[in-house]
Structure 1
């Protein structure tokens, strides 16, 4: 098959195929912007001087201080996770119709390898289009937002660019990852001239071995503080060990929670089948047990955002406790000075990033649920034809979404909070001393008389455990649950159209 023919066939399809390409390109665009923003932060050069020298050309301390740029870049990279999960959900939109189209191409004489290359090329070209548009938006935004103030300071690092190799890795690497993911998803699908077949799923439900990955993630975060103490002074070793522990721990915990959702879905289905008496719950139980990994695919982006949000909530609780202790110590020392609100203000930006991630994950939830309803429209139409009320099917869809979602949300928030508390479990301050002059300003300023009016006030050491941020975790859980409910509501709108009896005649 010639390359031109391959490209033309990859771009052919219905309106659903066009929507899949557009949504995949949009997801790649968002991921490109997040990746290039992280690389831009890392591209800021350290100014000459000691290790505490700051880049004074920026307003925000997150960009000025070299020690904070790594965390800022890490937070931006974390935003790529829900975006990439959204891309994965968009790539599955209309997958049954696409598989039937590929089977028809097989009937026309294409080989299995050519059919697989068609699907891979479609996703890769859509992602490449999105990354190229994202690169253009990044370059245009860099010029538009480059507005120094009167002191020459910048709000964003628009004066630096990542290296060409790093930009190429993002722009070209994301389409390659998308293409490989598509090839991986097609491994269980066989397109033959006789139609589309899938390998049978295993009858036994998923095991709870995902807990091992969660334990590995928690152990990696718990090892950060001991490693920092043991390797104090070995900056080169700490420079790669600590980021490695963070990356391995976060990735293992996220994969463990996402995979664990499959185990949760299967066992929720078992419990519903054993104890439920209503048809809606029994239908949902059968579906949950037949495809327990659907929950992992559907909630992956949302759970990743919640893990990040739970960790951020634990860090906010640490900074709030530290701020309170600093104020108490200043008051005991007789100093009228407040604590530094910088870190608490920074956590506001982190919370905003978590909110954006949850919003993006909600889009992925909607795409996944609608895709599942449309893919099973003939089965739903057959149930309606046999006398099952549409209201029963609606409640079944709600059960299928909410039954695994609630425990999965609780698990994600718990794991995220434990990761955050693994870094900092308590706050302590040492004994401090402050000189206070009990006289007029003239006597205190005179070196000859200052000493006789000066006294030293000692503030005792304070140690306090960090409270669990239940209120913020409750808000995160409520927001995630609201996102699931909105998704169910949107899905039910498509359910009525998908249960028309005409669907029984669709191929």
Structure 2
């Protein structure tokens, strides 16, 4: 098969295929923007001077202070997680029609390898278009947003550009990774002239072994402080690697654990539910419990990060309150030397990023839900034909989404908060000695007499524990569940058109 023929077959399809390609390209563009933004932050050159010398050409302290740029770049890369999950969920849009098209190609004489290359080329080309669009938006936005203020400072790092090899790695690497991921996903799929099927599906009920991954992630966070005490010269980048590995392990444990929670919820509904909608949902959850891990992967990852952000905000709030109290006791201005407000402003930006990530994850949920309704439209039409009301089917879809996601969100919140709480620790004040002059101001200010009245005083060590941020945790978890409810409400709108009796003949 020539490259031209391969390309034409990869680009062929109906409107659903065009929508899948468009969503894949959009996801690739958003992921490119996130990656290029992170590279731009890392490309800021450190000004000459000591290690704490700041880049004064920027307004935002996240860009001025060298020690905060790594965390800023990491936060930008976190936004790529739900975007990439959206790309994976978009790849399943219109899957039944694509499967029939692949079967027709096999019937016309295409080999299994050629069919796999067609699907890889479709995903790779769509991703390449998206990355090129993302690069164009980045370059144009860089020029449009380069507006120094009256003091010559910039709001964004539009004066620097990442290295060209790094930009090329993002723009060309993402389509390559997408194509390779497609090949990996198709390794268990057989395209035959009679249809497309999986060679080996997962059998057996899920097990709660992902709890081991969660425990490892929490343990890694708990070991940071002992490592710092044992190795005083431990490099910060090694500690960051430990934190990243632990966070990744915990997130994967939560995502994979959603399969076990889905299976457990399905068994409970099947045994104790007395309504048809709950019974339908229970059978579906028990039949394919791993669907929850695939469907809610991005949302649960964002919730874990949100739980950790809530722990950090509680720690910074406590530090700000203690510093205000210390300033009032010392007779200073209430706002003097308040570093806590800077960190709280930073947490506001992180919360905004989490809200955007939840929105992107909700878009991926909507794509998955609509695809599930379309792919099962013949089964739903058969239920309607035998007298099952569409409202019952819609309610079963609601049960199918909420039954696993509510406990999974609670677990994700708990894991994220536990990791954040272990990383921040307690707020400690005192525990040191200081010189105190026990005399009048005149005697203390006179160098000749100050030493006579000065003595060392032990300042007691007081440990303050941050409060549990119940309100913010409820907002993160409630926002995730509300996004699922909104997604179900929008997805059920497609139910009536896909449960018409004609679907029994044309599905």
TM-score (normalised: structure 1): 0.94
Is the 8 Å Cα contact of residues 282 and 400 (structure 2) preserved in structure 1?
Answer: yes
2-structure distance, mates of 1:48, 1:316: 33
Q: After the TM superposition, which residues 52-201 of structure 1 pair with which residues of structure 2 at under 5 Å, given as runs?
A: 52-199=52-199, 201=201
Choose from 312, 315, 329 the match for 1:315.
312
Name the stretch that deviates more: 219-228 or 267-276.
219-228
Q: Deviations over 1:21-49 (max 9, x none)?
A: 00110011011000110111111111111
More off after superposition, 164-173 vs 349-358: 164-173
Go from structure 1 to structure 2 and tell me whether the alpha carbon gap of 1:3 and 1:437 turns closer, same or farther (over 3 Å shift): farther
Partner of 2:45: 45
1:125-148 residue CA offsets vs partner (Å, 9 max, x unmatched): 111110010011111111111111
Give the SS at the match of 2:190. Answer: strand
Q: For residues 139 and 301 of structure 1, what CA distance do their matches in structure 2 show? A: 28
> Is 1:464 paired with 2:464?
yes
Does the CA contact (< 8 Å) of 1:381 and 1:499 recur in 2? Answer: yes
- Match for residue 249 of structure 1? 246
Distance in 2 between residues matched to 1:392 and 1:131, nearest whole Å: 43
Q: What is the match of residue 293 of structure 2? A: 296
User: 1:461 Cα shift?
Assistant: 3.8
Within the alignment, does 1:270 sit opposite 2:277 as a pair?
Answer: no
Distance in 2, matches of 1:494 and 1:450, equals: 87
Distance 2:5 2:76 in 1: 39
1:150: how far off? 2.6
Report the CA distance between 1:174 and its aligned residue: 1.1
Question: Which position in structure 2 is the counterpart of 1:494?
Answer: 494
1:5 aligns with 2:5: yes
Query: Under a length normalisation based on structure 2, what TM-score does the superposition of the two structures give?
Result: 0.94
Measure the CA separation in 2 of the matches of 1:437 and 1:482. 61
Query: Cα distance 1:239–1:446, how it changes in 2: closer, same or farther (>3 A)?
Result: closer
CA distance in 1, matches of 2:344, 2:458: 27
Provide, for residues 267-315 of structure 1, a one-character-per-residue CA deviation record: whole Å limited to 9, x for no partner. Answer: 1001111111211111111111111111111111111111111110000
**Cα RMSD after superposing both structures:** 2.3
CA contact (8 A) 2:34 2:76 kept: yes
1:372 aligns with 2:372: yes
User: 1:374, 1:346 → 2: CA distance?
Assistant: 43
- For structure 1, list consecutive stretches of 5 or more residues without a partner in the other structure: none
> Equivalent residues in 2 for 1:426-441 (5 A)?
426-430=426-430, 431=432
Distance 1:269 1:448 in 2: 79
Q: Distance in 2 between matches of 1:180 and 1:193?
A: 24
Moved more, 331-340 or 20-29: 331-340
Conservation of the 8 A alpha-carbon contact between 1:325 and 1:462: no
Query: Structure 2 CA distance, aligned partners of 1:499 and 1:28?
Result: 33
Q: 1:64 to 1:284 in 2, by over 3 A?
A: same
Tell me the distance in 1 between the aligned counterparts of 2:179 and 2:187: 13
Which secondary structure state, in structure 2, belongs to the residue aligned with residue 190 of structure 1?
strand
Aligned mates of 1:393, 1:249 — CA distance in 2: 41
Q: Who is 1:23 aligned against?
A: 23
**Counterparts of 1:193 and 1:318, CA distance in 2:** 61
Structure 1 position 479, deviation (Å): 0.8
Tell whether the 8 Å contact from 2:444 to 2:450 is kept in structure 1 after alignment.
no
Deviation at 1:506, TM superposition (A): 1.7
Q: 1:16 to 1:436 in 2, by over 3 A?
A: farther
> The residue matched to 1:428 in structure 2 has which SS?
strand
Alpha-carbon displacement from aligned partner over 1:290-343 (angstroms, at most 9, x marks no partner) = 111111111111111111111100000010111111122223334343332111
Distance 1:490 1:434, change over 3 A: farther
Q: 1:329 aligns with which of 309, 320, 326?
A: 326
More divergent stretch after superposition (370-379 vs 44-53): 44-53
Structure 1 pair 75–50 and aligned structure 2 pair: CA distance change class (3 A): same
CA distance in 1 between counterparts of 2:433 and 2:83 reads 47
Partner of residue 240 from structure 1, selected from 237, 240, 248: 237
Distance in 1, matches of 2:435 and 2:23, equals 61
| Contact 1:333/1:458 (8 A) holds in 2 | no
Residues 404-443 of structure 1, C-alpha deviations (whole Å, 9 max, x = no match): 0100111111111011011022111225869899999xx8
Judging changes above 3 Å, is the alpha-carbon distance between structure 1 residues 286 and 467 closer, same or farther for their aligned structure 2 residues?
same
Question: Within 2, Cα distance between the matches of 1:272 and 1:472?
Answer: 31
Return the alpha-carbon distance in structure 2 between the equivalents of residues 323 and 432 of structure 1.
Answer: 23
Q: Tell me how many residue pairs correspond in the alignment.
A: 501
Instruction: Determine the structure 1 residue equivalent to 2:418.
Output: 418
Q: 1:16 Cα deviation (Å)?
A: 0.3
CA spacing shift, 1:146–1:432, aligned 2, 3 Å? farther
Q: What is the alpha-carbon distance in structure 2 between the residues aligned to residue 71 and residue 444 of structure 1?
A: 49
Displacement of 1:199: 3.3
